[in-house]
Amino acid sequence: MRDLLRACSGQRLSLPDYEADFYAAVESVDGPILKTERLQTFREPGSPSWEAFAAGQWEESLRIAAEPNPELKRFFDRLAELGSGLHRLRVVTLPLSPYLIWELHFLRFRAEVGELIRVLATTTEAILEHEREHGIVPELMVVGSRAVYEVRYDESGTPIGADKFTDAAVVDGCRERVASLLAEAEPFDSFYDREVDGRRPPGGHL
């Protein structure tokens, strides 16, 4: 997908502008929202569960993650009303990084309220073939046929904004490639049960 993105100029957005633009685009979405995650470690300042995890407070991070989130539930319900849905492709390298052990626990609660998640290991032929031909999978949000956002991060893995693409060939191409990888990926529940359930990061830290 990086080859598609590099062939076209995007609109650079700050993090607040990206978030505002994304949620505005959702209101006119005309298909599924597809999200890719390829980095194995992120920083998520502002997330109480992540901050507890980063501080070594593992049980507290899980307690916070399990708290009811009415706003998130309303978001997924709204996507259902729009005939859309958020489909996350989580690419993982085994053994899992401490961050991924936390994130996959956290994602279990998002799945319970409506997020559609599938997992693909970096050793699978689908990923190996894709990345040989097109480069490393970028961090994307594909909003139906409306837009693609390539989320940007600083060197620490903290989100700093996104580049927005609306060229039809780029949006369609990214959507088709992400959908193809999702079709090869494993359902979240089976991956979680086998690789994640009951695990905790060594020492509970990043």
DSSP letters, 153-174, are: E-TTS-EEEEEEE--HHHHHHH
**Sequence-distant contacts of 60-63: CB under 8 A, at least 24 apart:** 61/102, 61/105, 61/106, 61/204, 62/105
Quote the pLDDT of residue 172. 97
Phi, psi of 71 (to 5 degrees): -65, -40
Model confidence at 204, pLDDT cuts 50, 70, 90, reads: very low
Query: Which residue do the tokens 């490393």 mark?
Result: 136
Q: What are phi and psi of 12, to 5 degrees?
A: -80, 130
pTM of the model: 0.95
pLDDT tens sequence across 83-121: 999 999 999 999 999 999 999 999 999 999 999 999 999
Choose among 191, 176, 183, 181: nearest CA to 129.
Answer: 181
- Residue 203: what pLDDT? 65
pLDDT value at 50 more than 90 = yes
Q: Residue 188 phi/psi, 5° resolution?
A: -55, -45
